[in-house]
Structure 1
């Protein structure tokens, strides 16, 4: 992962929900990942999770660990 990532606000992340813009992004622990190519994120939804959001808290209830994000390209940092 590159140490220099572009910063995005929550509003900018929210637009990458698979509907407002073509990109499908999610954030976890301050890093934004591009999940556009994942067949599990079609139309910006993955089970009960929606793209364009910070999924840090939601991951606690997921059946997988944070290692799942290693499959995806980090595209930015979430700023608060």
Structure 2
């Protein structure tokens, strides 16, 4: 799927920056999947930064295997950045 959504010149965010967008302290709700950061703030399923047992502000790549849906669900959300591989 990432080949279909490749977007050049996206801002790079660290895991620490992503963690701040958890829907608790700020209204923004972001999640990461396969190196991209998605804004899920408008989704009623991510109300207050929680979606079933998953919390926003994290990389959810490894958790998709347990989900009842495929990665196609990410096509519904805007890609707003890329996840840095290491924190500074």
TM-score for the superposition, normalised by structure 1: 0.96
Report how many residues are paired: 80
Instruction: Name the structure 1 match of 2:33.
Output: 28
Q: Could you tell me how far apart the structure 1 residues matched to 2:26 and 2:14 are?
A: 15
Q: Could you tell me how far apart the structure 2 residues matched to 1:39 and 1:28 are?
A: 19
RMSD: 0.8
Give structure 1 regions of 4+ aligned residues with deviation exceeding 6 angstroms.
none
In structure 1, stretches of 5+ residues that fail to align are none
Q: Could you tell me how far apart the structure 2 residues matched to 1:75 and 1:21 are?
A: 16
The SS at the match of 1:18 is coil
Cα deviation for residue 20 of structure 1 reads: 1.8
Cα deviation for residue 79 of structure 1 reads: 0.4
In structure 2, stretches of 5+ residues that fail to align are none
Cα deviation for residue 62 of structure 1 reads: 0.3
